[in-house]
Amino acid sequence: MKVLFTAAEAEPFYKVGGLGDYAGSLPVALKNYFTAQNDMLDIRVVLPLHDTKTIKKFQLKAVLAFSVEGTENKNKCRLFEKVYDGIHYYFIHQSSPELESGAVYGKDQYRTAYKFTLFSIAVLEMLQKIGWEPDIIHANDWHTALINHLVKSRADFTKFKPGTLLTIHNMPFMGYGSEAVFSEFGIKPIAVKEYPAWAQTLPLPMGIAATDQIVAVSPTYADELTTSYFAYGLEKYLLSHPEKLTGIINGIDYTKWDPTTDKEIDFQFSETHLQPRIRNKKALYKEIGFEFKPNEPLLVVISRLESQKGIDLILDALSETAHHNWKAVILGSGHHGYEYAFRALERILPNKLHAVLEYNPLFAKKLYAAGDMILMPSLYEPCGLSQMIAMRYGCVPIAHAVGGLKDSITTKPEPERAGFLFNTPNKKAFIQCLKRAIKKYSDKDLWHQIQTNGMKTDFSWSRSAAQYANIYQSLTPRK
């Protein structure tokens, strides 16, 4: 089976958030799954070449140059390739300097829309140029959703008829700003009766309508996407096409996230040998100038600082429980208002709260390996990987029971089996939940049990890769 997998980011080349983890690990997991079944999967990944500087170390090989029709002069593309970890990667570089901001997602809506529109067209051009005909095209989120629409709508791209799959990681991001770009490239609006008018010219809704199968990144998110609160106007379509929509929870890369072998943390540990976690905590405290107290939990936040992540609730809860026994380390960047608020809180609570307002994967690992609780009161969370990584490292999640948080944090049979969930995303419920967790923390045996329950839970890709493989197989006979 031949699969073209495409996304805006994939580790180790580019990672901004969970999509980068996902696209960096699922193709490898799928390939391993097929091999274990004595089957062959030729899965190739195509990404935009967002910047030429940081990617230099990967020594990409130039393959060919081509141009894409549309606005004059802007559309010269170059194709590069690289085999990494057994996976064939393609990179499409768009040569216009004005489009090359270097960022995966630029701040300018029009330019970002232009980049991904051109990328989507270029992906199909590239397939023709290299003469490779995949059985399946697997797109992810709005950035690449247009590819699935183009495959179905453009006669020149349908000589081969790949099955199409679209995974939704974040519904509210639909590709706003693309309307203007589409008219430049002659991409016509669609007419889908269940859609509101505004959705007919946006890449995500266009991809959803055209694609053969839609996967939401957790079963609960798939259910949530049939409600207006989570589907932002597309619920009517999704409700009337239940056969197209399934939910598959993401996995994490167990070779990368393994506290027993992780060289990036100070002291390795396992569920039967948790003692080194305390040494990690002491090392972290030394680094940031905190005083260590044996029975005081360390709360951590490792997140984009955006309203989706419930950052307001975190700020409120930390302010209002400041008299309680805890310390907190915040790692994140994003909305300036939130960054400012954490700095202000740090000034008020200098011996209690430490904020690192940046994207720092190494520091993130230290926090997973030293933190006692990770705060994730997200308003919505399609899947969420941070809670899975945290549980794998013995850091217990305190989270809103929504989307993938609900699916991955087991609270049965006992209410806090592997973490603590609350049902309503408001300050009162979150603070109550946090206080409950802090109280339980003083019972060392119970806490140890909660940690080990999380650490033993299987968050690897194995089960989910099998589910994706089933979908690929169900789509192949269309050829």
CB closer to ligand ADP, 356 vs 438:
356
Q: How far is the CB of 17 from ligand ADP (least distance, A)?
A: 3
CB closer to ligand ADP, 163 vs 332:
332
Q: How far is the CB of 15 from ligand ADP (least distance, A)?
A: 7
CB closer to ligand ADP, 360 vs 410:
360
Site string for ligand ADP, 389-418 (x = CB under 6 A): x-----------------------------
Residue 332 binds ligand ADP, judged by CB under 6 A: yes
From the list 32, 109, 321, 360, which residue makes contact with ligand ADP (rule: CB under 6 A)? 360
From the list 162, 384, 419, 454, which residue makes contact with ligand ADP (rule: CB under 6 A)? 384
Residue 460 binds ligand ADP, judged by CB under 6 A: no
Three-state SS for the chain is: CEEEEECCCCCCCCCCCHHHHHHHHHHHHHHHHHHHCCCCCEEEEEEECCCCCHHHHHCCEEEEEEECCCCCCCCEEEEEEEEECCEEEEEEEECCCCCCCCCCCCCCHHHHHHHHHHHHHHHHHHHHHHCCCCCEEEEEHHHHHHHHHHHHHCHHHCCCCCEEEEEECCCCCCCCCHHHHHHHHCCCCCCCCCCCHHHHHCHHHHHHHHCCEEEECCHHHHHHCCCHHHHCCCHHHHHHCHHHEEECCCCCCCCCCCCCCCCCCCCCCECCECCHHHHHHHHHHHHHCCCCCCCCCEEEEECCECHHHCHHHHHHHHHHCCCCCCEEEEECCECHHHHHHHHHHHHHCCCCEEEECCCCHHHHHHHHHHCCEEEECCCCCCCCCHHHHHHHCCCEEEEECCHHHHHHCCCCCCCCCCCEEECCCCHHHHHHHHHHHHHHHCCHHHHHHHHHHHHHCCCCCHHHHHHHHHHHHHHHHHC
Q: How far is the CB of 277 from ligand ADP (least distance, A)?
A: 18
CB closer to ligand ADP, 88 vs 304:
304
Residue 17 binds ligand ADP, judged by CB under 6 A: yes
Site string for ligand ADP, 296-325 (x = CB under 6 A): ------xxx---------------------
From the list 77, 328, 331, 396, which residue makes contact with ligand ADP (rule: CB under 6 A)? 331
From the list 7, 8, 21, 135, which residue makes contact with ligand ADP (rule: CB under 6 A)? 21
CB closer to ligand ADP, 111 vs 365:
365
Which residues contact ligand ADP (rule: CB under 6 A)? 17-19, 21, 302-304, 331-333, 359-361, 364, 383-386, 389
